[in-house]
């Protein structure tokens, strides 16, 4: 069995000490550029692989960061990955990620494993039902020394950095838009109350309509999973009511995509016979038939900012935990339009 090359093998070939080789491979400025290049060339020739993880652990920074998200089937979450991966790659860091599938058990196991393997920090989009006691940073947590940034979903009861969207403001924009078009019977297709995003968006929806003098009818509030299938089924159920809504606000674009598809099956024209609005403004929203009105959540900026905050903590930033809220934007396309004269109350 061939022995794995070591620092000593390189040192013998170059004619220096093993410690000099180690410094050269770490790009230490105390070693000349010429020597560093020579060491790297010999390392390549002998097949030496520098163990960055082990070196990082000795420094107290493994160079590995972790991301835990909960729905790879939802493009909204996967859009975060590109923004974060680029930031970490620029810093020569490796990103590991876990698809927890909204499981508190899987999420907890991943966080524990990352701590055991010396991950330098963690970005977490919390699973539905997560509480402060489940997170690094909680006083009772054995993970409390693992730097953590919450992304997209907020959690009470833990003092950590977080980057979230102003969901209440985004929902206010949607409701105001529909009210300005003359809609009064506005329904909700949403995702329950187990995440801050679901709670905040629905609460803002209810509050805005109530303030305007048109409190939502309970028959017009439908809860279900964040899937196109639920959007399709929910829209069909709403339109089967004796007095169906003239507009539907969806918790997410995925639900809205299903609702738009259901309209076609029912012979309804989105934006003409019924208005439908989504939330998130995924890349696909501009390419539905017709294009979807939605609230743009800046996943690129949120992902990049979460990465920067985590890197600052890894470098030793001792400032008080920060809570940064990103401003959304209403993108009006063709699935929303004026209420038809026959549907006016």
State pLDDT tens for residues 215-255.
999 999 999 999 999 999 999 999 999 999 999 999 999 99
Summary count for the chain: helices (H), strands (E): 11, 12
Neighbours of 270 (CB within 10 A): 28
CA atoms within 13 A on the CB side of 145: 6
pLDDT for res 137: 54
Instruction: Please determine, for residue 1, whether its predicted confidence score (pLDDT) is greater than 50.
Output: no
The mean of the pLDDT values for the chain is: 90
pLDDT for res 344: 65
- Taking residues 174-191, what's their average pLDDT? 97
pLDDT for res 336: 99
pLDDT for res 79: 87
State pLDDT tens for residues 120-176.
999 999 999 999 888 765 544 445 678 999 999 999 888 899 999 999 999 999 999
CB 152 within 8 Å of CB 314:
no
pLDDT for res 140: 42
Locate the DSSP E strands across the chain. 64-69, 94-99, 121-124, 148-151, 161-165, 186-190, 221-223, 247-250, 275-277, 294-296, 323-326, 329-331
CA atoms within 13 A on the CB side of 257: 18
Q: Write the DSSP symbol of residue 142.
A: T
State residue 333 phi and psi, 5-degree precision. -120, -135
Domain ranges of the chain: 7-50, 64-165+299-326, 167-297
pLDDT for res 56: 58
pLDDT for res 55: 60
Alpha carbons 337 and 333: distance in angstroms, whole number: 9
Instruction: Please determine, for residue 279, whether its predicted confidence score (pLDDT) is greater than 60.
Output: yes
State pLDDT tens for residues 27-80.
888 999 999 999 999 988 888 877 665 665 556 567 889 999 988 888 898 888
**Cα 28 to Cα 32, 52, 90, 159, 226, distances in angstroms:** 9, 14, 19, 36, 50
Beta bridge partners of residue 32, listed in sequence order? none
CATH superfamily of 167-297: Response regulator (3.40.50.2300)
Q: Which of 153, 174, 152, 164 is nearest to 329 (CA)?
A: 174
64-165+299-326 maps to CATH 3.40.50.2300: yes
The pair of three-digit structure tokens given for residue 176, joined into one six-digit string: 């105001």
pLDDT for res 139: 45
Please tell me the least confidently modeled range out of 20-24, 58-62, 277-281.
58-62
Beta bridge partners of residue 161, listed in sequence order? 149
pLDDT for res 193: 86
Q: Which of 136, 143, 117 is nearest to 63 (CA)?
A: 117
pLDDT for res 69: 92
């Amino acid at each position: 069995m061939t022995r794995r090359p070591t620092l000593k093998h390189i040192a013998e070939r170059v004619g220096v000490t093993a410690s000099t080789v180690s410094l050269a491979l770490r790009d230490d400025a105390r070693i000349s550029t010429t020597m560093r290049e020579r060491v790297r060339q010999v390392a390549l020739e002998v097949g030496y692989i520098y163990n960055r993880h082990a070196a990082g652990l000795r420094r107290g920074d493994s160079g590995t960061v972790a991301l835990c998200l909960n729905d790879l089937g939802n493009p909204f979450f996967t859009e975060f990955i590109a923004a974060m991966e680029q930031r970490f790659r620029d810093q020569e860091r490796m990103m590991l990620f876990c698809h927890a599938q909204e499981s508190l058990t899987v999420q907890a196991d991943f966080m524990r494993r990352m701590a055991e393997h010396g991950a330098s920090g963690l970005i977490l989009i919390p699973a539905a039902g997560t509480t402060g006691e489940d997170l690094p940073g909680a006083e009772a947590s054995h993970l409390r020394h693992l730097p953590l940034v919450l992304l997209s979903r907020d959690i009470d009861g833990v003092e950590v950095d977080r980057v979230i969207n102003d969901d209440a403001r985004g929902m206010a924009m949607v409701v105001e838009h529909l009210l300005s078009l003359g809609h009064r019977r506005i329904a909700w297709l949403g995702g329950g109350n187990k995440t801050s995003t679901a709670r905040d968006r629905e609460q803002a929806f209810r509050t805005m309509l109530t303030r305007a003098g048109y409190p939502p009818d309970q028959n017009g509030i439908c809860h279900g999973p964040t899937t196109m299938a639920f959007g399709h089924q929910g829209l069909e159920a709403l339109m089967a009511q004796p007095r169906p809504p003239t507009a539907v606000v969806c918790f997410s674009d995925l639900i809205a995509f299903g609702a738009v598809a259901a309209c076609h099956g029912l012979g309804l024209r989105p934006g003409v016979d019924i208005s439908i609005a989504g939330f998130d403004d995924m890349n696909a929203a501009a390419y539905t038939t017709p294009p979807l009105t939605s609230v743009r959540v800046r996943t690129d900026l949120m992902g990049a900012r979460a990465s920067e905050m985590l890197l600052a903590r890894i470098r030793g930033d001792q400032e008080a935990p920060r809570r940064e809220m990103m401003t959304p934007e209403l993108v009006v396309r063709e699935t929303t339009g004026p209420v038809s004269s026959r549907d006016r109350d």
